[in-house]
Amino acid sequence: MTKMVLNLLYSREHEWILQMNKNQVRIGISDYAQKQLGDIVFVEIPEVNDKVTADESIGTIESVKTASEIYAPVSGTIIRVNEELQDAPEMINEQPYKAGWLVEIELSAPEELQGLLNEEEYQIFINEGGE
């Protein structure tokens, strides 16, 4: 069974979303996604102050198996990036919900959070094939 963390939201592209306050979220990839990718060797993420739009690519994760796009689950402005991933991308495999987070976003449309999956819905999604 895939490790899940309570009080997170999820996208159908396997990003997790932690609401830090009313207008700020932290984004990472789910435990399920990192297991599917295998050993992560490189991460390309946006820079602080970049504008992002929900469902558009904001970067790439490369593993020994493949490269995969990272999609913004919400729209807004990047306010913080996890710079440690440049030297230690394996943190995504080791701690996808903690040290392996990717970016923090100041929301421009907080209502977009309503379209994301809760824990139970995400578990059903991945159990049904989650592609």
pLDDT digits (tens, 9 = 90+) for 38-57: 999 999 999 999 999 999 99
Dihedrals φ, ψ of 64, to 5°? -65, -20
Is residue 129 very low, low, confident or very high in pLDDT (cuts 50, 70, 90)? confident
Read off the pLDDT of each residue in 14-36 and give the average, rounded to a whole number.
96
Whether the Cβ atoms of residue 96 and residue 104 lie closer than 8 Å to each other: no
Q: For residue 37, how many other CB atoms are within 10 A of its CB?
A: 21
Whether the Cβ atoms of residue 99 and residue 84 lie closer than 8 Å to each other: yes
Q: What strands, in cross-sheet order, belong to the sheet with 67-71?
A: 40-44, 57-63, 67-71
pLDDT at residue 35 greater than cutoff 80:
yes
> Nearest Cα to 96, choosing from 17, 18, 34, 7?
34
pLDDT at 119: 92
Class of the CATH domain delimited by 9-115: mainly beta
pTM score, two decimals?
Answer: 0.93
| C-alpha to C-alpha distance for 83 and 35, rounded to whole angstroms | 22
pLDDT at residue 1 greater than cutoff 80:
no
pLDDT digits (tens, 9 = 90+) for 69-121: 999 999 999 999 999 999 999 999 999 999 999 999 999 999 999 999 999 99
The beta-strand segments (E) located in 9-107 are 9-10, 15-21, 24-29, 40-44, 51-52, 57-63, 67-71, 76-81, 103-107
* Residue 15 one-letter amino acid: E
Domain boundaries, the chain: 9-115
